Structures are given as structure tokens and as C-alpha cells.
């Protein structure tokens, strides 16, 4: 794994050591303050090149997906009228490569490396994290071409774990508003203001390739701006759960990936 990850800078392979604990403590503090932490340059440049060399020939097999949705990814919200501006539709589009299409790739090796899971669980202050059993959803690689983007949404899970493999020449910035809502206050007016592009507290983050980003997105809306130019934005998404055995239903797989298996 030393050929793939910078384990001198980030000692994920030394759980329980003072250096490992200091990194965990830093990540916990960043999560508490910013709702995310980043390990810039975790994946080495040569491993990024290898990953892209593995993935690019597979992209013709990927699933092209364009979807109009509201920020909640729900057909309706019971307490809101259908014309409420918090329910305004946006469009997300990309291509998705699934784990079963790249079983020996760099992203899958990182995903399945046990010390990586131990570190993430400690940083998230969870007893343990388990890889997803779903053969498609466990690891995805999302590619965004010119004009494509991930639009405004809240996540269903507490944490999202991604590594940027390739950044576009322009566009692809990460937009977010930390804790725009809470578990007790949906803040629909604030959501509507964000969707109108009038949120003064919206933040913009530029990620560099090789960066691990762990993000608390359940109450923090976020989006990625459209890609501009011929160089694609490519990001891998890891799905872990605090319990073993999680898998999607065939219907969910078909909705996300265009196939049940």
C-alpha cells in the first residue's frame, strides 16, 4: 500500500501509535468545526496515474445518468406545498463505473484495505465501519464531462467518503453550507435562498487530485459546479456502514446504475 498512499505523511498503517492518534484527533476536530476533513495528497501521483490508466478504458461500459431532482431527492415533502421554492428542481448528470467493473483497480484496493477502514471509523468516532456487500455500490467512480455536474442535495448517510482522482482544468468546485439545517429545524427558507443563489454563507472549496475528503452531508447541502473544458472531473466514492452486510435492492441498483447486477 506504500506505493499507493503517502503513509509517511499519513500513518494509517500504524493504528494506536502517537502519530496515528494525532491524525485522528486532528480529523475529529475538523469534523466538529467544519463538518469535514481533508487529507491532501493521500494518494500518490503515480498511483493516481495508474488509477486513471485502469479506469479510462472501462468508461464506455459506465452508466450515463441524468436526473432532475429536488435537494431532498424525494418526490415531495409533506409539510411543503408543491410550489415551495425549497422544492425547485435541479439537474445532476455524470457517468458511473461500478465496483464489479473494476475489481482490481486502485480505488478498490484502497477501499478494501483494513487499516483504512479502522482509521475512518476512529476519525468518525464510530466503533467500526464495514465494507458494503453490494457488488455495484461499494465503490463507484463518477466521471463528469464538460457541462456535467453534481447539483444541490442533502446526503442520506451521515458521512460521505471520496477521493478526487482527476480535477478538470476549470469548474468542478465543491460548494456547501455547513449545517444549513438541523435534525429539528429544516430551515426551508434557508434552503430556498441557497437554491436562488443568494446564500451569503455558502462556501467554495477547491480539492486537488489525491485528496481524501470525508464529509458530513446529511444536514449540509452541497453541490459541484459544472465542468468546463475537455478534461473530466473523476472522483471515487466509498460506501461503508457501521453494520455489516448492507446491500441495495435490485430496484435501487437499477435506479442508480441501470442494471440490477
- The CATH topology of domain 18-242 is Jelly Rolls (2.60.120)
Question: Does residue 256 surpass a pLDDT of 90?
Answer: no
What cell does 18 get? 502517537
Sign of CA dihedral 249, 241, 92, 220: positive
- In angstroms, the CA 134 to CA 147 distance is 30
pLDDT value at residue 169: 96
The structure's pTM equals: 0.93
pLDDT single digits (tens) 100-156: 999 999 999 999 999 999 999 999 999 999 999 999 999 999 999 999 999 999 988
Alpha helices in 130-241 (DSSP H): 188-195
Torsions phi, psi for 249 (to 5 deg): -80, 160
Q: What is the mean pLDDT of residues 227-245?
A: 96
- In angstroms, the CA 77 to CA 86 distance is 10
Sequence ranges of the domains in the chain: 18-242
- In angstroms, the CA 63 to CA 79 distance is 34
pLDDT single digits (tens) 147-195: 999 999 998 888 999 999 999 999 999 999 999 999 999 999 999 999 9
Q: What is the mean pLDDT of residues 23-45?
A: 96
Amino acid at each position: 500500500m506504500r506505493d499507493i498512499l503517502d503513509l509517511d505523511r499519513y500513518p494509517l498503517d500504524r493504528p494506536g501509535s502517537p502519530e496515528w492518534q494525532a491524525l485522528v484527533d486532528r480529523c475529529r476536530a475538523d469534523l466538529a468545526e467544519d463538518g469535514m476533513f481533508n487529507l491532501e495528497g493521500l494518494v500518490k501521483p503515480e498511483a493516481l496515474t495508474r488509477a486513471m490508466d485502469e479506469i479510462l478504458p472501462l468508461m464506455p461500459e459506465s452508466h450515463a445518468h441524468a436526473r432532475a431532482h429536488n435537494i431532498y431527492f424525494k418526490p415531495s415533502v409533506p409539510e411543503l406545498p408543491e410550489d415551495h421554492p425549497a422544492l425547485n428542481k435541479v439537474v445532476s448528470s455524470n457517468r458511473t463505473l461500478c465496483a464489479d467493473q473494476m475489481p482490481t483497480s486502485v480505488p478498490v484496493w484502497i477501499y478494501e484495505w483494513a487499516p483504512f477502514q479502522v482509521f475512518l471509523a476512529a476519525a468518525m468516532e464510530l466503533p467500526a465501519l464495514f465494507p458494503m456487500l453490494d457488488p455495484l455500490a461499494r465503490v463507484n467512480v463518477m466521471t463528469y464531462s464538460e457541462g456535467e455536474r453534481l447539483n444541490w442535495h442533502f446526503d442520506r448517510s451521515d458521512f460521505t467518503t471520496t477521493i478526487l482522482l482527476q480535477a478538470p482544468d476549470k469548474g468542478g468546485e465543491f460548494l456547501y453550507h455547513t449545517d444549513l439545517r438541523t435534525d429539528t429545524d429544516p430551515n426551508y427558507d434557508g434552503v430556498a435562498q441557497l437554491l436562488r443563489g443568494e446564500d451569503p454563507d455558502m462556501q467554495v472549496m477547491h480539492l486537488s487530485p489525491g485528496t481524501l475528503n470525508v464529509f458530513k452531508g446529511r444536514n449540509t447541502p452541497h453541490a459541484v459546479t459544472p465542468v468546463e473544458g475537455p478534461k473530466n472531473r473523476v472522483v471515487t466514492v466509498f460506501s461503508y456502514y457501521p453494520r455489516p452486510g448492507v446491500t441495495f435492492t435490485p430496484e435501487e441498483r437499477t435506479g442508480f446504475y441501470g442494471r440490477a447486477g
